[in-house]
Amino acid sequence: MVKAVQKASPEININLLPGDEPSGTLGTATHWALTVGRYLIIITEIIAIAIFILSIKLSTDKQGLKEDIQYKSGQVSAQKALETEFRLVQQRVNEIKKQRSAHFENNLVLTDFLKLLPKGMELKTLNIEEQEISFAGSFKTPKQLQTLISAFSESEKLVGLDISELESPSEQSKNYKFSAKALIIQANFSEEVASAVNQSR
């Protein structure tokens, strides 16, 4: 019997234990590079996780902001009618203040005018405008006319009396008839107007 000679196969040894690191400058550089690499990988992973968490938070905030905008838009739409009504009321209040101020001024002008009017003189028309007062009427004696002229000449609020028409007594009427106008000095009424407004509050 012929025996075949089998060649011995070479043995393969795998060493799973870490080998000795290179010594010297090369070993130090390699160790430093590996350490820095590990830290960079860890830091990169931490940053990636932080960015992921931040993106989730921003997405949630965006959704919440969108819902908040929708809610407040609904509130604004609901209050639009209220705002319109408020502005209308404010406009009416301002108009009332304006009318009240004008009323007080005319009232003060009328009060001063009646003080200047002689007793017994009758008025048929009276018109008060912003800067002028015009009136017409009748009186019995020329002395009443002189009193009227004298009173207006001493006044600082109603000045410049101008008698445009003057009719002597006739068979139909025993009284003198006249038409006149005077200027209103608004600045001299301003303090009284302010005082009257304050008292009405």
pLDDT for residue 158 is more than 80: yes
Q: What is the pLDDT of residue 2?
A: 44
CA 96 to each of CA 4, 22, 91, 103: distance values in angstroms, whole numbers, following the listed order: 131, 100, 9, 10
Given this model, what pLDDT does residue 26 score?
73
Cβ-proximal residues to 176 (8 Å cutoff; 6+ apart), any chain:
138, 139, 140, 142, 145, 166, 167, 168, 169
Residue 15 lies in a domain: no
Which DSSP string do the residues of 62-79 spell out, in sequence order? HHHHHHHHHHHHHHHHHH
Number of domains in the chain: 1
Q: Could you tell me if residue 17 is inside a domain? A: no
pLDDT at 20: 53
Strand 158-167 versus strand 176-184 pairing type: antiparallel
Task: Please give the residue range of the domain that contains residue 183.
Answer: 39-201
Query: pTM of the prediction?
Result: 0.46
User: Does residue 60 lie in a domain region?
Assistant: yes
Residue 104 pLDDT greater than 60, yes or no:
no
Give the CATH number of the domain where residue 130 resides: 3.30.1360.100
Distance CA 51, CA 59 (A): 12
The set of residues, in sequence order, having a beta carbon less than 8 Å from that of 186 and lying 6+ positions away, is 105, 130, 131
The answer to whether residue 140 sits within a structural domain is yes
**What integer is the mean pLDDT of 164-183?**
89
Q: Is residue 74 part of a domain?
A: yes
Contact between 135 and 125 under an 8 Å Cβ cutoff? The reply is: yes
Confidence (pLDDT) at 139: 92
The string over 69-106, giving b where at least 16 C-beta atoms fall within 10 Å of a residue's C-beta and e elsewhere, is eeeeeeeeeeeeeeeeeeeeeeeeeeeeeeeeeeebbb
pLDDT(5) > 60:
no
Q: Each residue of 24-59: pLDDT tens digit? A: 677 787 778 888 888 899 999 999 999 999 989 898
* pLDDT of 1: 43
Answer whether residue 3 shows pLDDT above 50. no
Residue 33 or residue 144, greater confidence: 144
Is 14 within the bounds of a domain?
A: no
Location of structure tokens 């390699």? 30
The 10s digit of each residue's pLDDT in 49-91 is: 999 999 898 988 888 888 888 888 777 777 777 778 888 888 8
Report yes or no on 10 lying in a domain.
no
| CB 124 within 8 Å of CB 138 | yes
Which pLDDT score, from 0 to 100, does residue 31 have?
A: 78
